[in-house]
């Protein structure tokens, strides 16, 4: 199944790195001011969606969905819902973390929303990769100097960390009001492995 790439309007400064995540057959969705990234990313949109409060509505020969300005969903969330309705199961989210902390936090939770529906999702910014660990193990090669685990949805239990500098958590648990698994490191020449028995984790891999 084709992957859906959703591009938001937050700043992207390192286009060269972000372009390495793209594939030629990706379905590209631009959300509102995400249109400013088309040239830097070297892509053409398959769909444009937004309320166009932060970017002029483009006159491009591309399917365009105009959203109301007053709505519950952010433009990014509306795009995710639209693409799920079209059958997509795999998502790459770009340009969704920026100076607006409210939007940034809301967009982090889109990863959880997608995981709860059995969808695969990865968010990438200039510095890090963000994904959810729930039903399947996660792996971190030593090309990533640091990784962090956050309890994003209540407590997470039965956490096992292998091949990393820090492998012991008290009772194998992370609780949402005390995040104590920040800045771990894969062991040199090895691939760290993370599993969780109950609950979910937000994995942040720093490049």
* DSSP H or E run through 6: strand 4-7
Q: Count of domains in the chain?
A: 2
CATH number for the domain spanning 104: value is 3.40.50.10240
42 and 106 belong to one structural domain: yes
Last residue of a domain, one of 103, 126, 149: 126
Two tokens at 54? Answer: 């932060």
97 and 151 belong to one structural domain: no
Is the separation of the CB atoms in 196 and 159 below 8 Å? Answer: yes
Is the separation of the CB atoms in 83 and 29 below 8 Å? Answer: yes
148 and 98 belong to one structural domain: no
Q: d(Cα 96, Cα 125) in Å, to the nearest integer?
A: 8
17 and 35 belong to one structural domain: yes
The lowest-confidence range among 39-43, 140-144, 163-167, 170-174 is 170-174
Q: Is the dihedral of CA 144, 148, 153, 158 positive or negative?
A: positive
Q: Over 70: is that where the pLDDT of 167 sits?
A: yes
Q: d(Cα 128, Cα 191) in Å, to the nearest integer?
A: 17
**pLDDT recorded at residue 40:** 96
179 and 137 belong to one structural domain: yes
Is the separation of the CB atoms in 130 and 91 below 8 Å? Answer: no
As a whole number, mean pLDDT of residues 109-137 equals: 96
Last residue of a domain, one of 126, 160, 188: 126
150 and 173 belong to one structural domain: yes
27 and 85 belong to one structural domain: yes
Q: Domain of 66?
A: 4-126
28 and 64 belong to one structural domain: yes
18 and 82 belong to one structural domain: yes
- How many other β-carbons are positioned within 10 Å of the β-carbon of residue 63? 11
The pLDDT-based confidence of 54 (bands split at 50, 70, 90) is low
Q: What tens digit of pLDDT does each residue of 83-113 get?
A: 999 999 999 999 999 888 998 999 999 999 9
* DSSP H or E run through 160: strand 160-162
158 and 178 belong to one structural domain: yes
34 and 85 belong to one structural domain: yes
120 and 139 belong to one structural domain: no
Is the separation of the CB atoms in 123 and 96 below 8 Å? Answer: yes
Mean pLDDT, the chain, rounded, equals 93
The pLDDT-based confidence of 55 (bands split at 50, 70, 90) is low
């Amino acid at each position: 199944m084709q992957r859906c790439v959703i591009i938001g309007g937050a700043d992207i400064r390192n286009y060269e790195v972000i372009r390495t995540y793209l594939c030629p057959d990706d379905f590209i969705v631009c959300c509102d001011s995400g249109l400013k990234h088309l040239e830097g990313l070297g892509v053409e949109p398959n769909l444009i969606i937004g309320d166009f409060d932060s970017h002029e509505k483009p006159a491009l020969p591309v399917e365009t969905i105009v959203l109301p300005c007053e709505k519950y969903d952010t433009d990014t969330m509306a795009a995710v819902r639209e693409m799920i309705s079209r059958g997509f199961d795999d998502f790459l989210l770009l340009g969704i973390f920026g100076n607006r902390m409210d939007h940034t936090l809301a967009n982090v939770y889109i990863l959880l929303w997608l995981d709860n529906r059995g969808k695969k999702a990865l968010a990438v910014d200039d510095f890090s990769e963000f994904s959810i660990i729930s039903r399947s193990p996660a792996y971190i090669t030593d090309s990533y100097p640091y990784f962090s685990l956050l309890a994003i949805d209540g407590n997470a239990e039965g956490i096992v960390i292998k091949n990393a500098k820090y492998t012991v958590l008290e009772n194998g648990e992370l609780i949402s009001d005390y995040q104590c698994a920040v800045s771990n490191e894969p062991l040199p020449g090895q691939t760290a492995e993370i599993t969780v028995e109950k609950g979910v984790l937000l994995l942040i891999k720093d490049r």
